[in-house]
Structure 1
Amino acid sequence: MRFTKISLSNRFPLILLLLILNLSLGCGKVVKGPEPTIPEANAGEDQTVFVDYQCQLDGSLSTGNLAVYLWRIKTLPSGAPSPTITSSDAPKAYFTPTKLGTYEFELELSNVLGISTDEVKITIVPFYAPSIEAGSCGICSHLQSHDGETDEDLDRNAQMISEIGAEFVRFDFDWKDIEPEDDKFSYAKYENIIAKLDQINLKVLGILDYGNTWSDPTTGDIKEINRFADYALNTVKHFKSDVKFWQIWNEPNNETFWANPSAENYTKLLKAAYAAIKQADPDAVAILGGLVGNGRDEVYLYGRLFAKANFLPDIYTKGGKDYFDVASIHPYNFATDINSTASIEAAINDAQTIMSNNGDGGKELWITELGPLYFPQEPNFLTTEVYTETEVADWLNLIYTDLRAKCSKLFWYEFRDYPGEFSVFNLEPNWEGLVKSDYTTKEAYAVYKNMLK
């Protein structure tokens, strides 16, 4: 990259105007505001990205108070049309390359003290699909929250998950934890988790999810979606050497996790987040947010919209086909017969049919959550029907035996029982784990362990 500073002489009229304004307004009480500082533009590192996917230009390392940002195109690949630069007056801007070759951009930073410019080169290459590791068995665990509340809890969960032979562990990389303020990232908690999982060779499926106190990307507003994509880009880049599997949101067709579920708004987020993941790590595998049910049928549970109708077909209609490497469902509402997997297999077939009808038959389909939601071992305020540990353990063995050939990976939900009371005020089931909240193992724990020997 090249860095230049330009003299102040061509900014003299601007300086004079500001001095006049300052004198004319100076008759009242003087309130001292921020002082300008000399601008220094930093257009970021040169990058290589895929053609036809949005690319972020990042000038956030620039310095200079009260400075104006301006991104502009300097050179294009031969024959390339000039792309539109979105947010060209902000530290982070976006464009979508449509031609192979090298694009060069200039960032200008200016204020009353001067002008600074810097250039960045973006090399555009053909898209390639990532390789997907073998292995079919995963576990969901809330290592970022109650399963990792203390170092002792984290160590115990990680070690016990490793002992049963699970190949993957799935958990949230919660946006509000990682970026509590705009452009202020904190990874210490997740670095600690990853370090412990690396020691026992557990692969991670990280979920990039949920809104923030200062941003809601579910509304479809492109500015907020790009903020989410920025979090995704920085997070994937930060953990590039350790995490290769990323899921874009959790259950976006479920109103518990996405207010007023909208396939159109989710597809907008999917496109931006997928491009961000690939910009950060071209070899990363991006997984569709696990859709409750089969991706097509409407489902209500406990009086809430558990799955909006036609969500997966609508993702394709809105152009989402090329923005996930793996599809994913959570067919809970089809897992109601403890003696059969026929309904679950039908849900898998339904989702795969939708994929095939949209030219996506070659993609893998994963079940990233499935557990005994409908098989409580104790009565609760909703039902008096209960199931024994043996019945649940036998069902676990049944689903892994029957479904292994139907879907590429299956993640059991969850490893440890939720350590809270299930009630009308807290609809978080507390019976789905392989172990109880006090880490006492259930029969299903031994079955899972023996199944993977």
Structure 2
Amino acid sequence: MANSKRRHWALVGAAVTAVVVGAGIATAVSGGDPGGPTAFGHSPAATSGTTSPAGAPTAPAGSTGSTSNGSAPGITAPSTSAAKNAQLADMKWGLDYSDTLAYDTPDQVKTALDDAKRLGMDYIRVDFGWEDHQNFANFPPDFSKFDKVVAGANAHGLKILATIDFPPPWARRDACKDTAACPPADNALFAKFVKQAVARYSARGVHYWEVWNEPNIVAWAPLPDPADYTKLLVTVSAAIRSADPHAYILMGGLAADHPSPGAPFIAPYDFITAVANAGGLKAVDAIGYHPYPDGDPATSKTFLAISKSPKSIIAALNQAGAPNMPIWITETGANIPALIWGPPEQVKPQETAQVQQAKREVEVLSSYPNVVSFFWFSYQDDPPAHLVFGLRRGDGTYRPSFDALKQIIADAKKAR
């Protein structure tokens, strides 16, 4: 249905790496478009001292985090049943569209956002690529494509989480000019573009920004580099806040695992620790994380890495003095691998299992401390890119997971 210019990297790799669980469903460890751009998501953190937009979770800096279970340093017990129910009731729900909406027709945008509203979503997550708006250095940005998305979101009462990414070729570093994962050659020039955009869209209700996507893998070209990323994060965050003091800024959603065997990867604990040591956590309001499960979410190492392992995200935040910083799940989901590798008769069983996987992911994530959002990747399949996680199939028809997720969200919101 969507006519996207670029493909989303759920995690970078030549193909989706999957683990078959349950009734034959595969949950993504990686997937993507090598040499293509990444998609980003944003979350706010409670340590910046800024005023957050309405509905943004906040917590005083330095306040006590979750309760330790005493089993090992840095391991945090899951929430109690009552706390879990309260956390689920307050969950922020979102749907990932990657870079599709900016290139859709008005009718396609309306249909896509009608679906988000029917699902009960609070947010849409979309790429905000510099190259989409300023292809030539000597011309001012043209924001008309994104104006359409913002207008549509506002008409549907949906908040936008915009992932800032994709420098145009003329603004990339020489070492990686051929990939949109390439960081800008000049962070200050990138920040100037971002400031223009934030000034324009804060007046139209856009306050949530995520700086880059999965910078802990090769979505930061040519290799992940937390110190280098921190320089961009601090510069861009300052530009955002100067244009919108109420902005809510997320550190770019971190990949939970290697995108493919042997591929570059810095574990979230190590990446967050390095960014914190370089002063980067002070620039954001939240951490973004993409825990596609490697099996049952209850035992998946990508989920356990939130708080139930010695080198967890919570452990890194505790050590950085930000124990209550929110964790936004800006991507998770479950794919249909039979569409890629076959056999065809497994497609329907995997689609049925996708429903159960969605329920389990929500159930398990709502038991973890600091988790405040659940964004499903993705709205619709992109079969040529091997991205088959959609609530809609490539032909636009609905999967059973659409109605299942709609019911999950409705049930969660009943307690509000």
TM-score for both structures, normalised by structure 2: 0.69
Moved over 6 A (4+): 217-223, 381-386
| 2:72 counterpart residue number | none
> What is the RMSD of the two structures over their aligned residues, measured on CA atoms?
2.8
**Paired residue for 1:380?**
341
Alignment correspondent of 1:30: none
What secondary structure, in the 3-state scheme, does the structure 2 residue paired with 1:238 have?
helix
User: Which residue is 1:283 aligned to?
Assistant: 246
Secondary structure of 1:287 counterpart: strand
Give the C-alpha shift of residue 148 in structure 1: 4.2
Shift of 1:209: 0.7
Gaps of 5+ in 1: 1-125, 422-427
By how many angstroms is 1:193 displaced?
Answer: 1.1
Q: Is the 8 A contact 2:171 2:185 kept in 1?
A: no
| Contact 1:377/1:431 (<8 A) preserved | no
Alignment match of 1:260 (pick from 215, 220, 223)? 223
2:339 partner SS: coil
Quick one: distance in 2 between partners of 1:314 and 1:383? 45
Q: Distance in 2 between matches of 1:269 and 1:286?
A: 13
1:131 Cα offset (Å): 4.7
Q: 1: CA distance between counterparts of 2:337 and 2:247? A: 37
Q: CA deviation at 1:257?
A: 4.5
Change (3 A) 1:218 1:164: farther
Aligned to 2:414: none
Q: Which residue of 1 aligns with 2:285?
A: 325
Residue 190 in 1 paired to residue 146 in 2?
Answer: yes
**1:83-139: per-residue Cα shift (whole Å, max 9, x none)?**
xxxxxxxxxxxxxxxxxxxxxxxxxxxxxxxxxxxxxxxxxxx95342561642111
1:40 maps to none
Residue in 1 that maps onto 2:305: 347
Question: Of residues 163, 180, 195 in structure 2, which corresponds to 1:207?
Answer: 163
Q: Which structure has the larger Rg over C-alpha atoms?
A: 1
The residue type equivalent to 1:251 in the other structure is E
Counterpart Cα distance in 2 of 1:438 and 1:133 = 36
- Shift in alpha-carbon separation, 1:328–1:339, aligned structure 2, 3 A: closer
Relative CO higher for 1 or 2, CA cutoff 8 Å, sep ≥ 6?
Answer: 2
Residue by residue over 1:358-386, the C-alpha shift from the partner in whole angstroms, topping out at 9 and shown as x without a partner, is 1011211111111115x524352899987
- Aligned partners of 2:131 and 2:230: how far apart in 1? 21
Partner in structure 1 of residue 400 of structure 2: 443
Identify which of 313, 321, 325 aligns with 2:273.
Answer: 313
Distance of 1:446 and 1:265 partners within structure 2: 42
2: CA distance between counterparts of 1:345 and 1:253? 17
Spell out, residue by residue over 1:378-422, the C-alpha distance to the aligned partner (whole angstroms, 9 max, x if none): 35289998761111111101111221242101111111111x42x
| Code of the aligned partner of 2:157 | N
Which residue of 372, 375, 386 maps to 1:429? 386
Deviation, 1:302, is 5.6
| AA matched with 1:320 | G
| One-letter identity of the residue aligned with 1:214 | W
* Number of corresponding residues: 313
Inter-partner Cα distance in structure 1 for 2:395 and 2:183: 43
Judge conservation of contact 2:290–2:330 (CA < 8 Å) in 1. yes
Displacement of 1:181 in angstroms is: 2.5
SS of equivalent to 2:330 = strand
Structure 2 match to 1:178: 133
TM-score w.r.t. the length of structure 1 is 0.63
Deviations 1:159-203 (A, max 9, x none): 111111111000001101122223611111111111111111011
The residue identity in structure 2 corresponding to 1:394 is Q
Write the distance in 2 (CA, Å) between the matches of 1:365 and 1:403. Answer: 11
Q: What residue number does 2:186 align with?
A: 224
Aligned AA for 2:328? W
Match of 2:96 in 1: 140
| Equivalent pair of 2:184/2:190 in contact (CA under 8 Å) | no
Deviation per CA, 1:299-331, whole angstroms, max 9, x where unpaired?
Answer: 241653355672221111222120111111112
User: Is residue 2:295 matched to residue 1:337?
Assistant: yes
- 1:290–1:416 distance in 2 versus 1, CA, 3 Å: same
- Alignment deviations for residues 225-256 of structure 1 (CA, whole Å, 9 cap, x no partner): 11111111111111013211000011111213
Most deviating of 179-188 and 270-279: 179-188
| The structure with more strand, counted as a fraction of residues | 1
Q: Which moved more, 1:164-173 or 1:343-352?
A: 343-352
Q: Please give the secondary structure, in 2, of the residue aligned with 1:378.
A: helix
Q: Percent identity?
A: 23
CA distance in 2, matches of 1:400, 1:432: 16
Quote the Cα distance in structure 2 between the aligned partners of 1:392 and 1:148.
28
Contact 1:377 1:389 in 2 (8 A): no
Take 2:101 and 2:233, find their aligned partners in 1: how far apart are those partners?
28
- Say whether the 8 Å CA contact 2:210–2:251 is kept in structure 1: yes
Partner residue, 1:299: 258
| Inter-partner Cα distance in structure 2 for 1:160 and 1:260 | 37
Any gaps of 5 or more consecutive residues in structure 2?
A: 1-47, 57-90, 176-181, 411-416
Taking a change above 3 Å as real, the CA distance of residues 163 and 324 of structure 1, as seen in their structure-2 partners, is: same
Shift of 1:434: 0.8
Contact 1:341 1:399 in 2 (8 A): no
- Where does residue 106 of structure 2 map in the other structure? 151
